[in-house]
Amino acid sequence: MYNKNLLIITNLFPYPENETRGIFISRRLEFMKNYGITFDVYCPIPKEGNSLKVVRKIIGSEGINVHQPFYEFGGIRYKYVFYDKNLFDVFSKKVLKKNEEKKLSKQIATKIYSNNNLDFDIIHAHGMFDPPAGLVAKLLSDKLNIPYVVTCHGSDINLRMPNNKELYNDVLENAAKVIFVSNALLNKAKSYSYSGSNSVVIPNGIEPDLFKPLDREKIKRELGLNKKVVGYVGGLKPIKRADKFHEIFETIASTQEVEFLVVGDGELREKIEKECKQRKINVKFVGRVPNDEVPYYINAMDVLILPSRNEGFGTVVIEAQSCGVPVVGSDNGGIPEAIGDGGIVVKEGDYFEKRFSEAVIELLGNPKDRDILRQRSLSFSWENIVNKELEIYENLIK
C-alpha cells in the first residue's frame, strides 16, 4: 500500500456555489483517500477588489466569491490560498500584456510554505492556469527538495501556453513527470517547443457505478419528453461552441421529430434560450445539477453532442458511453480519442454546424449498441486511472 504524503496544488477545485468545478480532481482525490493515501490540497483563489466585482457584475462574468479558509466536499478539505486581484491587475494582463504569473505564484508558494506542517514526499499540481499551479509546485519543489508532477488538463495548454511559452516550458521540462489528459494535448504542448521527454498520457476517469445505463423511456416520461432526445452536458460558453447551438438544433429539428435537453449553465444561457425560443425549437434547459444527478439526464438522451472548439479530453464523452449513449463531437483536442468508435467525429472547416447536424441525424437513425459502448468505457474507471498515477508516484520515490 502506498504510504507517502502528497502535496496537491490545483487551479481546479469546488467551492460552495459550484461544487462540480474541477469534479475530475475531486473524484481522483476521493479514490486516493479510499486507498489510504494522505495528502493536503491547496487552491489558489483570487481575493478580488470591489471595482473588479462591479465590472464582473456589469458584464455578467462569474467570479469565485468565497472568504472562508477552506471548503469540505466529498470528505476532502480544500484549503484556499488567497492572492490579491484588482481591476488594474486585469488591465495590466489584458491590455498591457504583462505577465504576473511569477509574482503571484511566488506569493502563493510563500503562503503555503509558511505552514509549519509541510512534510511531503511529492508535489502534484493540477493545471497551468492563472496563476499556474505547476509554477507554484516548482517553487515549492526547490524549497522542499522533493519532486513535482504536473497534470495539464486542456485550456492551460491550448489557450494559456501560447502567450507564455518560456515560463510554461521551464515548468514542464523541470517536472519529474508531466501528465497530459490526451495525446492531442501533449502534441499541442510539443508544438510550443516542449520536448515531451518526461511526459505520459493519462486521461481523466469516470465512475462506472454512477454512470451506468438506466431505463431511458422511464426517464423521458419523468422529464416530459416523448421523442428522440439530443442532449448536451457542460458549460454554456463560446469554447464549447454553445453560441452555435441554435443553428445545430434548428437543422436537426428541420428533418427529425426530436427534442433537445441541455444540462449546464454559463454566460451564454440566456442568449441560447432566447434564440431557441424565437425559432420555436423545443429545448429543455435544466441548468447546473449535482454530479451524481448527471447520469439521470444523460440516460434520457439518444445522442450526446460535444461540438467544442477546444477540449483537453472530453470526459463527458466517456460518461455518456458508460450510460450507453453515443456521441457526436468535433475533431478538436482529445475529443476524437474519447469518442473512438463510440460515435461520430466531425472535422472542423466550412459548414461545420451543418455537417455536425447531419452526423447527429445519422446517429439517430443508426444507433450504437449500448452494451458495446458501456464495455468500452470501463477501461476509463477512476480505479484504473488512479492506479496509473500511483505507479508514477512509486517510481519517483524509488
Annotate 45-114 with three-state secondary structure: EEEECHHHHHHHHHHCCCCCCCCCCEEEECCEEEEEEEEEECHHHHHHHHCCCCCCHHHHHHHHHHHHHC
Residue 266 burial class via C-beta count within 10 angstroms: exposed 0-12, middle 13-18, buried 19 and up = middle
Cis peptide before 131 (omega within 30 of 0): yes
Q: Which domain holds residue 181?
A: 5-205+381-397
> Which residue, chain included where needed, has cell 502535496?
7
**Residue 36 clears pLDDT 90, i.e. is over it:** no
Are 28 and 169 part of one and the same domain? Answer: yes
Mean pLDDT of 265-272: 94
Given the DSSP bridges, would you call strands 38-48 and 76-85 parallel, antiparallel or unpaired?
A: parallel
Are 87 and 194 part of one and the same domain? Answer: yes
Q: Which residue has the higher pLDDT, 66 or 162?
A: 162
- Phi and psi at 264, nearest 5°, equal 140, 175
Are 129 and 16 part of one and the same domain? Answer: yes
Mean pLDDT of the chain: 92
- DSSP classification of residue 15: B
Residue 211 domain flag:
no
**Cell, residue 23:** 469534479
Are 333 and 392 part of one and the same domain? Answer: no
Are 285 and 373 part of one and the same domain? Answer: yes
Question: What is the percentage of the chain residues whose pLDDT exceeds 70?
Answer: 91
Are 389 and 338 part of one and the same domain? Answer: no
Mean pLDDT of 328-345: 97
Are 13 and 60 part of one and the same domain? Answer: yes
Are 330 and 393 part of one and the same domain? Answer: no
**Residue 61 clears pLDDT 70, i.e. is over it:** no
Alpha-carbon gap, residue 45 to 103, rounded angstroms: 15
Structural domain total, the chain: 2
**Residue 96 clears pLDDT 60, i.e. is over it:** no
**Residue 205 clears pLDDT 70, i.e. is over it:** yes
Mean pLDDT of 338-366: 97
Q: How many CB atoms lie within 10 A of CB 3?
A: 9
| CATH code, domain carrying 226 | 3.40.50.2000
Q: Look at residue 1 in the predicted model and tell me its pLDDT.
A: 44
Are 249 and 181 part of one and the same domain? Answer: no
Are 197 and 226 part of one and the same domain? Answer: no
Residue 105 domain flag:
yes
Are 41 and 102 part of one and the same domain? Answer: yes
Residue 210 domain flag:
no
Residue 343 domain flag:
yes
Question: Under the phi-then-psi rule, with left for phi > 0, alpha for psi from -120 to 50, and beta for the rest, what region is 26?
Answer: alpha
**Cell, residue 294:** 448527471
Are 372 and 225 part of one and the same domain? Answer: yes
- DSSP classification of residue 387: H
